[in-house]
Amino acid sequence: LSKKTHNHNPYSALSHFPTGSKFSGTSNEMGMQEYGLYMWPDGSRYVGLFRNNKFHGDGFIELKAPYSINFKVHHEDGKLMEIYSISFADYLQLDFEWSDDTLTFDNWDYCTSKDRRFCNERMGQLVAVGPATYNSSEGPTPPELAPNIFDLGFGKFNSLGCVTEMPTHWSPVTECYVNCGESRAWIQNNCRHGELNEMKLDPEVLAHFARQIIHCNLKNDRKLVGKPHSELGSLQRLKTRSSPHSSSDCSLAKKLLHCGSSVDSSSS
């Protein structure tokens, strides 16, 4: 049942449903038809095709902020048959697989050790190091953190083991205690933090990440520039063969890898 602002056949009007949802588009005695816009009470909406009061055909589902996630989908008589794409409001595309009504994100390398760049760095083709590097989702110069505070991206972790300042759309509570020692150690060894007082990071973890970062930087350099540092170093040595320094056979890439190995060995 719905209340329509106009009474034509077929109807092309704004419909208000008892649930608080709204529909703008064409409808008849069988309900919503053809192309239209359906809006849920929270402001999220579906824009696309309908048939006999059901989603039918291609369309877009747009979740309201703060989620701001967009789905390009295909329905048949109200049943979701395919998800073409998932993206965020900043146009970041999510890499996913959908099988047996289950979504998996195993292949998505966003903000992982495979690619540490944030969305704006990806969109602008910025490398993972340099003056414009993003230190958080807030940009290259995020606000400073208080001593012994770690930035989780969805809250702040303190020395008492509590996460504070959690956004309300995550859960009804804004604070929680992290009881798992392994999770607390991961936060302390991986997340951006303020000055540490009486708190120490695991040197083995630091050495591991130093070596991993070097390999990732070299890989990204090869992908974006076309030639890794080792090849550039070889070309430079050919150009300066007559130079007294041309006897050096260590490229910049080898030097960087050597530094990573030295850091690792000194911490073990």
pLDDT tens per residue, range 176-235:
999 888 888 888 888 888 888 766 666 665 666 566 667 677 666 665 555 444 444 444
As its CATH architecture, domain 3-104 has: Single Sheet (2.20)
State the chain's mean pLDDT as an integer: 74
> pLDDT at residue 50 above 80?
yes
Highest mean pLDDT (candidates 4-13, 87-96, 173-182): 173-182
Q: How far apart are CA 155 and CA 163, in angstroms?
A: 6
Beta strands of 10-134 (E only): which ranges? 11-16, 22-28, 31-39, 45-51, 54-62, 69-76, 79-88, 97-99, 102-104
pLDDT of residue 53: 93
Q: Where would I find the H helices in the chain?
A: 119-123, 181-190, 203-225, 229-239, 252-267
| 8 A C-beta contact, residue 73 and residue 59 | yes
pLDDT of residue 5: 45
Q: How far apart are CA 27 and CA 110, in angstroms?
A: 42
Q: How far apart are CA 115 and CA 110, in angstroms?
A: 6
Q: Is the peptide bond before 228 cis (omega within 30 degrees of 0)?
A: no
Residue count of the chain: 268
pLDDT of residue 162: 92
Burial class (CB in 10 A: 0-12, 13-18, 19+), 113: exposed
Q: Which two tokens stand for residue 5?
A: 């602002």
User: 84: pLDDT confidence band, cut at 50, 70 and 90?
Assistant: very high
Q: Which two tokens stand for residue 90?
A: 């900043």
User: 258: pLDDT confidence band, cut at 50, 70 and 90?
Assistant: very low
User: 240: pLDDT confidence band, cut at 50, 70 and 90?
Assistant: very low
Q: How far apart are CA 216 and CA 227, in angstroms?
A: 14
pLDDT of residue 109: 76
Q: How far apart are CA 148 and CA 144, in angstroms?
A: 12
- Other CB atoms within a 10 A radius of the CB of residue 221 amount to 19
> pLDDT at residue 265 above 50?
no
CA geometry: angle 65, 69, 71, nearest 5 deg: 140
Q: Going by C-beta distance under 8 Å and a sequence separation of 6 or more, which residues neighbour residue 250?
A: 258
pTM summary value: 0.52
pLDDT of residue 244: 42
Q: How far apart are CA 191 and CA 243, in angstroms?
A: 45
Pairwise pLDDT comparison (63 vs 206), residue with the higher score: 63
CA geometry: angle 154, 169, 136, nearest 5 deg: 20
Q: How far apart are CA 50 and CA 81, in angstroms?
A: 14
Among residues of the chain, what percentage have pLDDT more than 70?
A: 57
Q: Is the peptide bond before 142 cis (omega within 30 degrees of 0)?
A: no
Sign for the CA dihedral angle at 243, 249, 250, 253 comes to positive
Q: Give the pLDDT confidence of 141-189 residue by residue, as tens digits.
A: 677 888 889 988 888 999 889 999 888 776 778 889 998 888 888 888 8
Query: H or E element: which one contains 192?
Result: strand 192-193
Q: How far apart are CA 150 and CA 45, in angstroms?
A: 36
* CATH 2.20.110 residue window(s) in the chain: 3-104
